[in-house]
Chains A and B, each alone.
Chain A
Amino acid sequence: MFAGYFSWLNYLPTVVSVIFAGIAIKLLDDYLDQESPEDSYLISLFDRSGYAYGLVFLLIAAGADLHLTFSLFAASYSVGMFTSSHDKLPTGLSSWVESIVAVIFAILVSGWQMALWAIVTIVTVQLLDDLVDYKHDSFMGHTSIARSLGIERTIVLLLLAGYISLRWQIWLGLFIIIISQIISFGLMHLNLRRNADA
């Protein structure tokens, strides 16, 4: 009789996976970009234990939904490495080679469809972030896809990647895009409030 009332619980692992993976990826991104505590709420919150908490969040996400977490994390790593300017990384490989290795692992663990969809979705999120941060990046001299290609081409790429991602998995894609923006804006808002109070 009450089975229908609890059907939303079927989505709980996916929701937990997306939220915790998103926070872990944001934390890792801030540490890799060597953001100062003034610019990153997560770094100021976790300080030196941020790496440990990042791993914990990733483990929680993987425990909730391993395939989704792996493909999202591998896609984020792959897109991040591909757009970074490192020539040689500590592994001895170039950044674009590490990107391809991450994609291969994602395909082996999660299947080629989920890996490919994850990449397209993360590209959508990345392009959206770059467009939102365009003015700030121009002011600070940071490189981004929007600054390299220009706003018009970035918008066309965003529409293309977004269309493919949402046509493939509309609700999950939409959820990931919304959660990523909530995490970004939420943390930025918390940071501004903390800096204002200080």
Chain B
Amino acid sequence: MPNIIDIFVIAILVTAFFGLTLGYKRGRQYGKLEGEIGTGLKLREQSLIIGRCVLCGTKEEHGKTQSITE
């Protein structure tokens, strides 16, 4: 028969498991959100540095847009 120490140890480990599961899910949600925001900002930064859109290659000069093929 399990004694009080066994129940205590098992309770601690089960709590730790559920705590880690919850933390992992929350962390993943927040990480995904921050990743989405960060990605947008990173793309804009790189576009400004190279002077063209990093996705489609379009650049704007003197009020005119030029695609990468021109």
Interface residues in chain A, defined as those with a beta carbon under 8 Å from any beta carbon in chain B: 150, 152-153, 156-157, 159-160, 163-164, 167
Given contacts A167-B2, A167-B6, contact A160 B13 (CB under 8 A): yes
Given contacts A167-B2, A167-B6, contact A150 B13 (CB under 8 A): no
Chain B stretch 1-32: residues in CB contact (< 8 A) with chain A:
2, 6, 9-10, 13-14, 16-17, 20-21, 24
> Can you report 9 A-B residue pairs in the complex whose CB atoms are below 8 A from each other?
A150-B20, A150-B24, A156-B13, A156-B16, A159-B13, A163-B6, A163-B9, A167-B2, A167-B6
Q: Determine the distance from Cα of A20 to Cα of B9 in the docked complex, in whole angstroms.
A: 34
State how many residues of chain B have any CB contact under 8 Å with chain A.
11
Are B20 and A156 interface neighbours, CB within 8 A?
Answer: yes
Are B10 and A157 interface neighbours, CB within 8 A?
Answer: no
| Residues of the A chain whose Cβ atoms lie less than 8 Å from the Cβ of B6 | 163, 167
Q: Min CB distance, A160 to chain B, in Å?
A: 4
| Residues of the A chain whose Cβ atoms lie less than 8 Å from the Cβ of B16 | 156
Which of A153, A160, A164 is B24 in contact with, Cβ under 8 Å? A153
| Residues of the B chain whose Cβ atoms lie less than 8 Å from the Cβ of A156 | 13, 16-17, 20
Interface secondary structure of B, over-half rule: helix
Q: Determine the distance from Cα of A157 to Cα of B16 in the docked complex, in whole angstroms.
A: 9
Q: A156-B20, A159-B13, A160-B10 are in contact. List 15 more A-B contacts (CB 8 A).
A: A150-B20, A152-B20, A153-B17, A153-B20, A153-B21, A153-B24, A156-B16, A156-B17, A160-B13, A160-B17, A163-B6, A163-B10, A163-B13, A164-B10, A167-B6
Interface secondary structure of A, over-half rule: helix
Q: Min CB distance, B6 to chain A, in Å?
A: 6
| Residues of the A chain whose Cβ atoms lie less than 8 Å from the Cβ of B14 | 160
Residue in chain B with minimal CB distance to A159: B13
| Residues of the A chain whose Cβ atoms lie less than 8 Å from the Cβ of B10 | 160, 163-164
Residue in chain A with minimal CB distance to B14: A160
| Residues of the A chain whose Cβ atoms lie less than 8 Å from the Cβ of B13 | 156, 159-160, 163
Q: Min CB distance, A121 to chain B, in Å?
A: 16
| Residues of the B chain whose Cβ atoms lie less than 8 Å from the Cβ of A157 | 17
| Residues of the B chain whose Cβ atoms lie less than 8 Å from the Cβ of A163 | 6, 9-10, 13
